[in-house]
Amino acid sequence: MAEGAPVIRDDKAGQESNVIFDWEVGDAAGTDRAFEQADVISRLKLHYPRSHPSPIECCGSIADFNRATSKLTVYMTTQAPHIIRAAVALVAELPEHMIRIISPDIGGGFGNKVPVYPGYVCSILASILLERPVKWIEDKSGNLISTGFARDIYLDGEMALRRDGKILGVRMRCDSDHGAFFSDAQPSKFKIGLLHSAFASYDIPVAHLTDRGTYSNKAPGGVAYRCSFRVTEAMFFQERMMQAAADDLGMDQAEFRRMNFVRDDQFPHRTPFGFLTDSGQYGKCLDVALKAVDYEGFRREQAEARARGRLLGLGISTMTEPLGAGNSREYDILGIKMFDSADLKVHMTGKAILRTGARTQGQGHETTWAQIVAHELGIPAEDIVVEEGDTDTAPFGMGTYASRSTPVAGAAVAMVSRKIRAKARQLAAHLLEVSEEDIEWELGRFYVRSAPDRGVTIQECAVAAYANMPDGMEPGLDATAYYDPPNLTWPFAVYIVTVEVDPQTGVWDVLTTVAVDDCGVRINPMIVEGQIMGGLTEAYAMANMQFITFDADGNCVGSNYMDYMLPTAWETPGFELHSEVVTPCPHHPIGAKGIGECAAVGGPAAFVNAVMDALSGTGVRNIDMPLLPDRVWEAITYRRDVSGAPPVRSDD
């Protein structure tokens, strides 16, 4: 912040500077002592640039206020219909039961469609005033320039090290640019989201993090673009610092990480910033990845290539992401606790309809939720209809973002299925004329323990729920469950990328990308692999080609899709995925941890670290993303770090 800079938000009472907040977490005094004891102090400054989620369809809404019924119906592209309904009730001064939010297929979200945008508000208020439907829709340039950005945060990082490689402490000083409004959709308690999830996979005694949030004359930022509230920045800073520290010590990148990992027998593990991680096999994941990439063989090839003037590099990135925010003791948005819900009704025919408070944007909820019900009840997945996104029919939920689907909504689906099964067990005992204690369960069927041939199917129990229930039992076979997670879930991953850099042009090509993801129990492996591939594609794009910023006059640079590149199948490298490591989450009903964001969170650092490894020996410690060819060429040619921090000159 420049001394004497004009106050951007001078419309806010009491706003005397451009600082929004100062926030800190960790043990400052303990960290200072760790640095006093350090043999080596590794330092790194970098900028995680702005990036945009760029969903395939823009934001839009159609508001229709019916004066005769005093009911407002809004079709809109939102990832969180119930939260939007609560916000609309406050703004429009209408009771919630007279507001219906319908979120149809919304053409992707990635966090971009969580906020309440002015267009939504204008269409709603105009419809109330005019008493007729009012539509608002963006064009692609408007979406790219003005809707919620992500990232734009600066790190001044330090790591206290023993000479043998043990990390003694970490210090992170951050500055986050929030644009013209502090509109982050973060849990209320955490001003900078879960940035302090950094270094959760490493056994570090003490750490301290500060962040200063500031206003600027840009579109509002802070959106959790495919990450669990600033976790992408946390893992990027973590892994760039890990690479720099290993280089400063002269240690092998893989072994430096291995010796500082949390061991399997240390779980549950308290991180230096206070999180509690539950389970993992970090070393095993690293071993699988190193074997897949032929680590030792590549290092020999790298040395031989360098002798011939070729620049090969290998980058490692690990991540453990806190998913499933979160337990009601600590997590809320707008004061609303971050539980989720599911409502399941089994009809007399044995067919079922499931409604949840989540909202799919292409994650495959319809498939995954039906599989969970099928697994719990034995009802064929094709006999289960899944509905989401209509506040008049779905139970209250927080929507879908921050990889909350399977960790929270999926857990609610499992719990409501078990409620149904418990009632069906009573019906089975009635039909079989035995006590409930004598009933056993196998998938889709109850039977008598002493006479396994005597049994009834779940479908027969469904008929009985409407036609032959025991005295005193309420008819029907339906239930609702609300799931308040006891803790976050913590998937882990190792990503390794190899590249070749052309020293004459700065162009770098990806040779290999290996991903080892331990996301706990995998419900549908194909959907999991699709999520990983999509996340790696976005990670590659952020590291390689996506550049959007503002010049000194406030003009948006990279404001169209000719300049802000989205990778196609032509540019996207191939990915080698591994699923050998499975560590179930001990507190999740089905052991799942979540996967939707992991590769986008951990992937960028792997690509950047690979390029920096190729440039080892040149004195270059950092090139800010995206690693455009001109930046890489400048670093090689002038043997200096290259910053991408704005503002830029329009003629650059």
Cα–Cα nearest to 186, from 74, 395, 23: 23
CA distances from residue 360 to 80, 256, 365, 567, 625 in whole angstroms, order as listed: 10, 40, 6, 23, 30
Structure token digits, residue 96: 């919630």
What 8-state DSSP symbol labels residue 468? S
Structure token digits, residue 116: 């309440």
d(CA 210, CA 105): 39
H or E segment and range at residue 543? helix 525-544
d(CA 122, CA 247): 54
- Pick the catalytic residue from 58, 597, 598, 631: 597
Q: Coil, helix or strand for 237?
A: helix
Cα–Cα nearest to 31, from 160, 127, 220, 154: 160
- Pick the catalytic residue from 58, 227, 519, 556: 227
d(CA 44, CA 237): 9
Asked if 373 contacts 418 with a C-beta cutoff of 8 angstroms, the reply is no
d(CA 148, CA 351): 41
Alpha helical stretches, state H, 339-432: 365-377, 411-432
- Rounded to the nearest 5 degrees, what angle is found at the Cα of 593, between the Cα atoms of 587 and 594? 150
Report strand pairing: 150-161 vs 167-177: antiparallel
d(CA 365, CA 387): 9
H or E segment and range at residue 290? helix 282-293
Structure token digits, residue 178: 């929030």
- Pick the catalytic residue from 50, 58, 79, 355: 79
Q: Identify any residues that bridge with 139 across adjacent strands, giving them in sequence order.
A: none
Structure token digits, residue 597: 């964001």
- Pick the catalytic residue from 50, 100, 171, 226: 226
3-state helix, strand, coil in the chain (%, to 5): 30, 25, 45
Alpha helical stretches, state H, 93-200: 118-130, 140-146
d(CA 283, CA 319): 12
- Determine whether 227 is an active site residue: yes
- Rounded to the nearest 5 degrees, what angle is found at the Cα of 124, between the Cα atoms of 120 and 128? 170
Report strand pairing: 492-501 vs 311-320: antiparallel
- Determine whether 93 is an active site residue: no
Asked if 86 contacts 357 with a C-beta cutoff of 8 angstroms, the reply is no
Structure token digits, residue 402: 């921050």
Residue with the two structure tokens 């309904």: 85
Structure token digits, residue 462: 């469904």
Residue with the two structure tokens 């910023």: 549
Side-chain-facing half-sphere of 642: CA atoms under 13 Å: 21
Structure token digits, residue 11: 């419309």
What 8-state DSSP symbol labels residue 21? E
- Determine whether 240 is an active site residue: no
Q: Which residues of 408-433 are buried (b: 16+ CB within 10 A; e: fewer)?
A: bbbbbbbbbbebbbebbbbbbbbbbe
Q: Coil, helix or strand for 437?
A: helix
Kindly list the catalytic residues: 79, 226-227, 597
